[in-house]
Amino acid sequence: MPINKHSFARYQVIDACIRNRQRSYPDIGYLIERCSQRLDQQISRSTIEKDLKAMKDEPEPGYYAPIRYDRQKCGYYYEDPEYSISNIQVEEEDIDAIEFAARILRQYRGFHMVKRYAEAIDRILDLVDVRRILSSEEFEEYVQFDTPVYMDGSGFLEPVIMAIKDKHVLSISHQSFSKTEPVIRVVHPYLLKEYQNRWYLVGLDEHENEIRTFGLDRIKKLEEISNIEYRISNFDPTTYFKHTIGIIAPQSKPPLLKIEFTKQQAQYLLTQPIHPSQKMLKETKDMVVFTFAVHPTYDFISLLLGYRDKVKVLSPLWLRKGMKELLEQMINKYQ
- Decide the pairing of beta strands 279-283 and 198-205: unpaired
Q: Does domain 256-333 have CATH number 1.10.260?
A: no
Q: Has residue 136 got a pLDDT over 60? A: no
pLDDT at 123: 66
pLDDT at 1: 44
Q: For the chain, what is the radius of gyration of the CA atoms?
A: 24
pLDDT band at 31 (very low <50, low <70, confident <90, very high): very high
pLDDT at 82: 83
CA-closest candidate to residue 142, choices 154, 126, 131, 156: 131
- Mean of pLDDT values over 139-157: 61
pLDDT at 320: 95
Q: Does domain 5-84 have CATH number 1.10.10?
A: yes
Q: Any idea which of 8-22, 128-142, 150-164, 181-195 has the lowest mean pLDDT?
A: 128-142
CA-closest candidate to residue 214, choices 201, 227, 229: 201
- Mean of pLDDT values over 137-154: 58
CA distance 55 to 17: 14
Q: By the 8 A CB rule, do 187 and 204 touch? A: yes
More confident residue, 322 or 198: 322
Q: Has residue 156 got a pLDDT over 60? A: yes
Residue 143 CB contacts under 8 Å (≥ 6 apart), including other chains: 127, 130, 134
pLDDT tens digit string along 226-243? 888 998 888 888 888 899
Q: By the 8 A CB rule, do 202 and 191 touch? A: yes
pLDDT at 109: 62
More confident residue, 122 or 267: 267
End-to-end Cα distance, the chain: 59
pLDDT at 160: 87
CA-closest candidate to residue 314, choices 259, 255, 256, 254: 259
pLDDT band at 105 (very low <50, low <70, confident <90, very high): low
- pTM for this structure? 0.59
Residue 173 CB contacts under 8 Å (≥ 6 apart), including other chains: 182, 183, 184, 185, 219, 220, 221, 222
Q: Which CATH code for domain 154-225?
A: 2.30.30
